[in-house]
Structure 1
Amino acid sequence: MNSSKHTELANHAWSVADLLRGDYKRHDYGKVILPFTMLRRLECVLEPTREKVRETHEKFGGQDVDVARFLRRASGHRFYNTSRYTLKSIASDPGQAEKHLLQYIGAFSDNAQEVLHRYEFPQQIRRLDAANLLYRVVGRFADLDLRPVERDEHGQVVTDERGQPKVVVSNHQMGYVFEELIRRFAEDSNETAGEHFTPREVIELMVNLLVASDDDALSVPGVVRTVLDPACGTGGMLSAAEEHITQLNPSATVQVFGQELNAESWAICRSDMMIKDQDPENIKFGNSFSDDGHRDGRFDYLLANPPFGVEWKKVQDEIEKEHDELGESGRFGAGLPRINDGSLLFLQHMISKVKPVTADGKGGSRIAIVFNGSPLFTGAAESGESRIRQWILENDWLEGIVALPDQLFYNTGISTYFWILTNRKSPDHRGKVVLLDARDYFAKMRKSLGDKRKYLTGEQIGEITRLYTEALHVADAPEHPLHQKVKVFANEDFGYRRITVERPLKLHFEVTEETLTQVRESKPIQKALDVAAFETALKPLMGRSWQTKRAAWDAVRSAMAEAGVFWPTGAPFQKALREVIGVRDPEGEVQLVKGEPEPDAELRDYENVPLHEDVEEYLRREVIPHVPNAWIDHTKTKIGYEIPFTRHFYVYKPLRPLAEIDAELKALEAEIQALLGEVTK
């Protein structure tokens, strides 16, 4: 479908807004336009077999048989409608429009009715009728030609010069129409279009990377492949995956599965699946985390564009319960990310649904998911995010990460990344991760759509795909023109030890006015003795200092004895006393605990040391030259994993000369003055 046809159909559907204005607020237009567009598409698809379905219904009606099975067979689809009504006939009888339309949608199969009810369509029908708009809206949609193929006056499919059916609006083309309508609805209702669908060219690239290494397997005649999107939106990714695989192999059978939380997006996706003769029951409604609609499913391909940075507080109890009770036998055993970003929960959910690899090396699955930068590095060592990354890398599932341009999505201008995972890496990829920098591959849009100001051209999609599939070769070839775009790392390169570097506590000791103030405020000292008497005992020591703890203690003991104050037994008093008369001093006495230097918490530092490096050697090389008395507290060492993508592709750009900046500012100032001069004329 060319863009003018696509726009023409979307404009026709959206023209109903002219009728709704006044009776509906702008942000509610989509509640009418989307379900009516869907209804009209269903009607157009079912039109060729409508009479056959009615005859079958009359023949088997009232008999003790599974009528639905015969009706589906008669319709040629997984849905049907037994009514004698059409939108055109309903529009011709304005006085009965509400009654007839409700009867019409009530004659659909249960799966189609469920979709329409998710739109709250009956309520909209009643509201439109009360405003005396229903028959006019119905009439407008009755004129919208959404036939899948063209037919002649005898109902026969019209073919082109190659003998192929002449397409009016294909399923793929219908997807573009829906996307345009959803985008308009989202903009008018102040929602983000990106919550409902992903740009088509982004999906195309994602699917390319998902199946690229499987071209040989997908070419086998009659191959069957299953695809899951656990945050499927309107189903764009599922449709693209199905299309791509069937283009590679027209004899392939692709079964798609999905789950979606947004009712309208779910309704569109499920309708689309019915039209394409996919099983609509495969598209589940609800939250994938708390109500997994594919609990026991295992799939060949899994892909998703989950919402970025969305908190999972609403399902926190269910997720934490599964994490605590099921551990690694559940979906979230590796770890839980922070509550304000559930991205890595989606990835764990998807990993739980991969097919196992058989003894002969067959089976297994591939995963593609869109993330922002946060899952790459958020979370310190042994945090939930770090543990999840560690789990993925130590199991050798991460095949590659592709950095995409910013401003590529409708609802965010930030940089995004594809993560590609598989549990059946090819031998040359095992133990390795590919990082591919595709941030410079984009074209500027003539007109922005939300935050989307850039897009990928077909040529760029092809080049990124080739670069990814040839990544190992490109990385090993310094002379390759795209060598700088690809880097290959060992899994353990992303791991590190978070070491705690300690330095000794060094003190000298003194009694000052501040010391007496601290004595009066010290709870342990108050508990151990009479504070007033102790303060009186210390006053003769005012202004004195000692270089060692022993000397200080001896002086304080003597002063207390002279004042008749008893020296308390036990460690708490001595610890509190050191707190009030001890002063940190780089030249002071090293404090010991059981003969070992006591660490100074204020001088404590942390270092991240790569896993493949010896931490003691690191200390000797990087730390000891600067602080010779430092040591590592190995009891506090933690293992962490992060993927610092941008660090690996950082290119230093020297600062511009001041003269150049100054000249640019002067030119800009002159331009402004000239404009001001024009205004004042």
Structure 2
Amino acid sequence: MNILQYESKIWATADLLRGCGIKESEWPSFMMPFFALVMVESRLVRMMDDEKNEIGEEALSGIPKEDLYELIKDKGQGYNKYIFEKNLTLSDICKNDKSFYNDFDAYLKGFDGETKDLLGVDTGDGEKYLDIRGVITKLKAKDVLLGYTKLWSGIDLMPFNNSEITTLEEHIKRKWADISAETAGEQYTPDDVIALISEIIASKIEESDTLLKIYDCTCGGGNLLFGVEDRINEKFSRLTETYGQDWNDSLYALAKIESRFRPDSKIEHGNTLVDDKFYNEKFDVVIANPPYGVSWKGYQKDINNDKTGRFKFLPSISDGQLLFMQHLVSKLDLSGMGVVVHNGSTLFSGDAGSAESNIRKWLLDSDIVEAVIQLPTDEFFNTGIYTYLWVLNKNKQERHIDKVMLINASEKFKPLKKSKGSKRKEVDEANRLEIVETLTKYEDTDYAKVFDKEYFYFNKQAIMLTNVDEDGNSFESKLKKGKSSEKLTPIKLINGEGDLTEFTITTFDENKYGSLKDAFEQDIKPYIASLDYKEQPLVITTTKAKYWFDTDKETLMKEINGKKELLGCGKIVVKAGFKKVSKTQIERVEITVELTPDYQKDYEIIPYHKDETDNQTAIADFMGKYITRPFEYLENVVGVELNFNKIFYKPEKLRDVVDILGEIEALNEEIKGLEEGLEL
């Protein structure tokens, strides 16, 4: 019997929610607690049956019921007095309309403490997780609680094992994610992507008698974590142990409930970035699909004060993906590997010297990135963007050392016959195996390239350019040695709007301003700042000469008694400053003018060479070829960017001009025929 037949039955419960006016976006919060309820009940009943079968009919008759119940409790997978001691299930409770409310309340309170906490049975100030009590209150107010519970009680999952129930759970949670991503950037990992991640991991691990520890720092409801574990268990007899943590109350509760029915699984609640519940653990395999573009401003102080040393650099506060990446690297053991799902921003956001670029550089410097795989668009349920798998490996093969492979798998998909939200494509089994084979061979193909890691590095060389006039001269040559400017003592300053002859201002219009400082802030300072020696005539007159800027020749001009002199390219800098009263001076505004060389800071992006001498030579050659003005070297920052478009870009093939002209001629003839028809 295929368990997926229950998928439609479960979604039919939402019809009642729709009928009583509950919005579609709220359905998951009503469905999650009841799905967890029937899931727990089915597993508890099955556990009791398994225990009885293991003991045997004859031996069972000689065991007191209390001892049998203790055996069940000792398993740590949950307990319910109604189910075990009264032999009553949710279906039985729903048969009696008159006693339903009391029986249902007693049934919920009959669970063990942890299950009650996860379901949210008891109201209080603590975590409510699935908050079934809150849901019950709302359904009761709409007078549909009994009907809704009856629908769920008819979903009998008892015949199915843990793996089958997990499969159903994944399908249901996918639909929940499709209609209600509670946090922007949350992405439910599709089954085909989980399968691809599992195949990649399987290609990197070996059969062993040692425990394989798998960790997901943003495990959500556990679909990625448990999905990978199940697929690894299908391929290897090696024992596995899963660890997961999530901050979302309801998804954590689902994952926690699921974990109790697995041989060795630990799920914790909390924010991984500020409260790592597995701070003293290292793992063989790390996996994650952290939220995209989600701000970490709410816990910025905690991360700024983090003492673990896991965060080498702090990325933009608007996106925490690279915080999770750094955390995961810190959780790898000496030979560990991982696969992490990100959007494209982690590949190229941030300029050289930014935290994002520095994190990428640190990852490549550490030689932990083995490959990055671009997945097709329309792969996830609520986004159509490209997504990427970062393959991390601290135990690279010798020929992979200091290398990074890019695999453009954007065309390795099969279209879905029916879209699932934004998901219109899937990486089917044939394509998954091909991608993994390509990664294993680690050789160039038409859609995959292997690079020295330094290929992704680049120099961002800062320089200070000295602007020159049409004759190649700068005002810098007119300055005395050691001086950076020439200060003028003006008696008049004329611009396009009028002139300014007061360069020390001590009075102000008392009807307009409350003080000289107010006049300075509101009027004088903005006016001086608006003066532009290039956009409007700006002539400075001193007792000896006149100065201005000739925009045609791009030079400062000096005139004495009608004789003009070209001073070279430079700037006219006019400033206004407010001076407080002192022992020797009254309160005043001083306007100053000075001539300076025209310097301009610029940046050049230059290919990187890992040999320092070769790198400096490449920078010098670049400058000699492309920079024609005088300049000085400033700081050089090495950035890192992984650009799939640059590497795999295929220009559109242009059509032959003869073909285009032929089509135009044919269209002209067709139009001519139509016009003749209209005339008739």
Shorter-chain TM-score bucket reads 0.7 to 0.9
Q: Distance in 2 between matches of 1:542 and 1:194?
A: 59
Q: 1:19 to 1:494 in 2, by over 3 A?
A: closer
Say if 2:227 is the partner of 1:227.
no
Cα shift at 1:90: 0.8
Number of aligned positions between the proteins: 569
Asked whether the equivalents of residues 306 and 343 of structure 1 are also in contact (C-alpha less than 8 Å), the reply is yes
What value does the CA root-mean-square deviation take over the aligned residues? Answer: 4.1
Q: 1:346 to 1:101 in 2, by over 3 A?
A: same
Aligned position for 1:97: 100
Asked whether the equivalents of residues 547 and 556 of structure 2 are also in contact (C-alpha less than 8 Å), the reply is no
Residue pairs, 1:325-340, within 5 angstroms: 326=307, 329-332=308-311, 334-340=312-318
SS of 1:405 mapped into structure 2: coil
Aligned position for 2:37: 39
Cα shift at 1:175: 3.2
**Per-residue CA distance 1:171-225 (angstroms, 9 max, x = gap):** 33323433333344445557689836210010110122123121x3xx22x4311
Q: 1:45 to 1:57 in 2, by over 3 A?
A: farther
1:501 to 463, 467, 475: 463
Cα shift at 1:343: 0.8
Residue pairs, 1:189-208, within 5 angstroms: 189=180, 195=186, 197-208=188-199
Say if 2:319 is the partner of 1:341.
yes
SS of 2:299 mapped into structure 1: helix
Residue pairs, 1:262-277, within 5 angstroms: 262-277=248-263
Aligned position for 1:674: none
The residue type paired with residue 226 of structure 2 is: S
Cα shift at 1:521: 9.5
Aligned position for 2:144: 133
Aligned position for 2:66: 59
Say if 2:247 is the partner of 1:261.
yes
The residue type paired with residue 98 of structure 2 is: G
Q: 1:20 to 1:620 in 2, by over 3 A?
A: closer
Q: Distance in 2 between matches of 1:551 and 1:136?
A: 91
More strand by share: 2
SS of 1:461 mapped into structure 2: helix
The residue type paired with residue 300 of structure 1 is: D
Asked whether the equivalents of residues 545 and 552 of structure 1 are also in contact (C-alpha less than 8 Å), the reply is no
The residue type paired with residue 577 of structure 1 is: E
Q: Distance in 1 between matches of 2:630 and 2:542?
A: 38
Asked whether the equivalents of residues 57 and 82 of structure 1 are also in contact (C-alpha less than 8 Å), the reply is no
Asked whether the equivalents of residues 183 and 193 of structure 1 are also in contact (C-alpha less than 8 Å), the reply is no
SS of 2:361 mapped into structure 1: helix
Say if 2:621 is the partner of 1:621.
yes
Aligned position for 1:367: 338
**Per-residue CA distance 1:565-592 (angstroms, 9 max, x = gap):** xxxxxxxx9994215xxxxxxxxxxx5x
Cα shift at 1:70: 4.3
Asked whether the equivalents of residues 369 and 393 of structure 2 are also in contact (C-alpha less than 8 Å), the reply is yes
The residue type paired with residue 331 of structure 1 is: R
Asked whether the equivalents of residues 214 and 286 of structure 2 are also in contact (C-alpha less than 8 Å), the reply is yes
Aligned position for 2:73: 72
Say if 2:351 is the partner of 1:380.
yes
For structure 2, the residue ranges without an aligned partner over 5 or more in a row are: 53-59, 121-128, 469-473, 479-485, 507-523, 525-538, 563-589, 671-680
Say if 2:419 is the partner of 1:432.
no
SS of 2:189 mapped into structure 1: coil
Q: 1:144 to 1:549 in 2, by over 3 A?
A: closer
Q: 1:411 to 1:200 in 2, by over 3 A?
A: same
Aligned position for 1:316: 300
Asked whether the equivalents of residues 192 and 410 of structure 1 are also in contact (C-alpha less than 8 Å), the reply is no
Q: Distance in 1 between matches of 2:228 and 2:606?
A: 41
Aligned position for 1:209: 200
Aligned position for 1:121: 132
Q: Distance in 2 between matches of 1:116 and 1:432?
A: 48
The residue type paired with residue 130 of structure 2 is: Y
The residue type paired with residue 383 of structure 1 is: S
Q: 1:255 to 1:553 in 2, by over 3 A?
A: farther
Give the structure-1-normalised TM-score.
0.74
Residue pairs, 1:272-311, within 5 angstroms: 272-279=258-265, 282-311=266-295
Residue pairs, 1:455-466, within 5 angstroms: 455-466=426-437
Asked whether the equivalents of residues 299 and 354 of structure 1 are also in contact (C-alpha less than 8 Å), the reply is yes
SS of 1:365 mapped into structure 2: strand
Q: Distance in 1 between matches of 2:441 and 2:499?
A: 70
Aligned position for 1:180: 171
Q: Distance in 2 between matches of 1:372 and 1:384?
A: 17
Cα shift at 1:442: 0.6
For structure 1, the residue ranges without an aligned partner over 5 or more in a row are: 61-66, 150-168, 358-363, 476-482, 557-572, 580-590, 592-598, 671-681
Aligned position for 1:583: none
Aligned position for 2:155: 144
Q: 1:625 to 1:425 in 2, by over 3 A?
A: closer
Aligned position for 2:440: 469
Aligned position for 2:607: 609
Q: 1:86 to 1:518 in 2, by over 3 A?
A: same
Asked whether the equivalents of residues 549 and 556 of structure 2 are also in contact (C-alpha less than 8 Å), the reply is no
Q: Distance in 1 between matches of 2:621 and 2:635?
A: 21
SS of 2:407 mapped into structure 1: strand
Aligned position for 1:353: 331
Aligned position for 2:654: 655
Q: Distance in 1 between matches of 2:345 and 2:417?
A: 30
Q: Distance in 1 between matches of 2:370 and 2:241?
A: 25
Q: Distance in 2 between matches of 1:576 and 1:188?
A: 65
Asked whether the equivalents of residues 493 and 500 of structure 2 are also in contact (C-alpha less than 8 Å), the reply is no
Aligned position for 2:546: 541
Aligned position for 2:471: none
Q: 1:309 to 1:523 in 2, by over 3 A?
A: farther
SS of 2:315 mapped into structure 1: coil
Q: Distance in 2 between matches of 1:490 and 1:660?
A: 43
SS of 1:245 mapped into structure 2: helix
Say if 2:590 is the partner of 1:577.
no
Aligned position for 1:566: none
Residue pairs, 1:16-31, within 5 angstroms: 16-27=13-24, 28-31=26-29
The residue type paired with residue 599 of structure 2 is: D
Q: Distance in 2 between matches of 1:443 and 1:498?
A: 41
Asked whether the equivalents of residues 259 and 288 of structure 1 are also in contact (C-alpha less than 8 Å), the reply is yes
Cα shift at 1:464: 0.9
Asked whether the equivalents of residues 501 and 631 of structure 1 are also in contact (C-alpha less than 8 Å), the reply is yes
The residue type paired with residue 92 of structure 2 is: S
Asked whether the equivalents of residues 200 and 436 of structure 2 are also in contact (C-alpha less than 8 Å), the reply is yes
SS of 1:440 mapped into structure 2: coil
Q: Distance in 1 between matches of 2:188 and 2:424?
A: 16
The residue type paired with residue 317 of structure 2 is: I
Cα shift at 1:69: 7.0
